[in-house]
């Protein structure tokens, strides 16, 4: 029997009259801001966007055939400086999304600002995929590619994303001595190492389970049974709330989930027949209390 992700995509594509072809799974769009760089440092980045997009989009990251339904993600890179020749410090905003079944909408799976990235790049350099050796630029791209594939697959069936999240962890294990942003440091300070450590930790297993329930049994069910879909989504959010209460410490996985989803959550429950649902949302996600209050107060 095909897995739910294969079945979902097959139905979606065939209903649109699209046939399956062999293709890479990721479609990444890269934008850069180089205003803070010297003219020389900017010139060195002349082919940077094309090189990065080609590196990500031409590689086969999984064993799955997704046809033309590629996983969409974006990287917006703001260069902060060039401390030495061909060396850059940057902040990167990472975002990914996937379609919501039965609608024309997309839902965000990841929105995170990675503000401590340093790497070396020389115009025209060869970019070869090699996960056994650390590379300050390519390891970063590998890490987020696997995280995004993992979250996407996990949103369709619980456990399907784990092999790719584990590959992201392998990248981290190779890169931990690579400088700021790689090693797990503190739940209060974002790092790639801390994020994937939590995402794969048994303590946060219910968060991964909630990702599946929220998306596949929630958003994807909205077209068919809106009330049941919202109940499933609320169950998923309560799972995350229990994890927060049990661990009783700041969590990057929980913070990033709610930073990514809070506007969608508020809008989804705007027309819920039980106005007390917003009290639950505010208890689970107090960081976005104002948004939930405003949505509740403006609901019809």
The answer to whether residue 186 scores a pLDDT higher than 80 is no
Average pLDDT (125-153) is 96
Average pLDDT (253-267) is 97
- Residue predicted with more confidence, 249 or 77: 77
Q: Work out whether strand 71-84 and strand 87-99 pair parallel, antiparallel, or are unpaired.
A: antiparallel
Distance of CA 223 to the CA centre of its chain: 24
CA distance 74 to 203: 29
pLDDT digits (tens, 9 = 90+) for 28-71: 999 999 999 999 999 999 999 999 999 999 999 998 877 778 89
List b or e across 134-167, with b for residues whose CB sees 16 or more CB atoms inside 10 angstroms: bbbbbbbbbbbbbbbbbbbbbbbbbebbeebbeb
- What pLDDT sits at residue 37? 98
CB 194 within 8 A of CB 205: no
Tokens of 80: 């902060």
- What pLDDT sits at residue 24? 62
Distance of CA 272 to the CA centre of its chain: 27
pLDDT digits (tens, 9 = 90+) for 214-248: 999 999 999 999 999 999 999 999 999 999 999 88
- What pLDDT sits at residue 15? 37
- What pLDDT sits at residue 198? 94
The answer to whether residue 19 scores a pLDDT higher than 70 is no
**Which residue stretches of the chain are H helix?**
4-15, 39-44, 48-57, 138-154, 162-175, 192-200, 205-215, 226-247, 252-268, 277-284, 289-298
Q: How confident is the model at residue 4 (pLDDT cuts 50, 70, 90)?
A: very low
- When the pLDDT of each residue in the chain is averaged and rounded to a whole number, the result is 89
pLDDT digits (tens, 9 = 90+) for 189-218: 899 999 999 999 999 999 999 999 999 999
Q: Is the pTM of this model over 0.75?
A: yes
């Amino acid at each position: 029997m095909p897995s739910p992700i294969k079945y979902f995509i097959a139905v979606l594509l065939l209903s649109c009259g699209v046939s399956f072809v062999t293709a890479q799974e990721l479609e990444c769009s890269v934008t850069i801001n180089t205003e803070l760089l010297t003219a020389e440092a900017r010139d060195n980045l002349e082919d940077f966007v094309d090189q990065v997009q080609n590196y990500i989009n031409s590689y086969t990251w999984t064993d799955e055939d997704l046809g033309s339904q590629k996983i969409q993600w974006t990287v917006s890179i703001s260069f902060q400086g060039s401390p030495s020749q061909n060396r850059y410090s940057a902040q990167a905003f990472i975002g990914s999304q996937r379609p919501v079944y039965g609608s024309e909408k997309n839902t965000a799976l990841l929105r995170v600002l990675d503000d401590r990235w340093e790497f070396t790049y020389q115009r025209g350099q060869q970019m070869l995929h090699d996960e056994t050796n650390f590379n300050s630029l390519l390891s970063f791209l590998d890490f987020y590619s696997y995280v995004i594939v993992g979250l996407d697959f996990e949103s369709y069936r619980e456990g399907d994303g784990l092999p790719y999240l584990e590959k992201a962890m392998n990248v981290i294990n190779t890169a931990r001595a690579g400088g700021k942003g790689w090693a797990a440091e503190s739940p209060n300070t974002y790092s790639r190492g801390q994020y994937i450590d939590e995402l794969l930790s048994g303590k946060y297993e219910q968060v991964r389970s909630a990702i599946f329930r929220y998306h596949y049994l929630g958003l994807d069910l909205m077209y068919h049974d809106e009330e049941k879909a919202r109940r499933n989504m609320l169950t998923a959010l309560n799972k995350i709330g229990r994890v927060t209460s049990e661990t009783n410490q700041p969590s990057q996985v929980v913070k990033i989930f709610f930073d990514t989803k809070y506007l969608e959550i508020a809008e989804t429950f705007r027309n819920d027949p039980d106005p007390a649902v917003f009290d639950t949302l505010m208890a689970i996600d107090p960081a976005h209390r104002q948004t939930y209050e405003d949505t509740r107060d403006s609901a019809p």
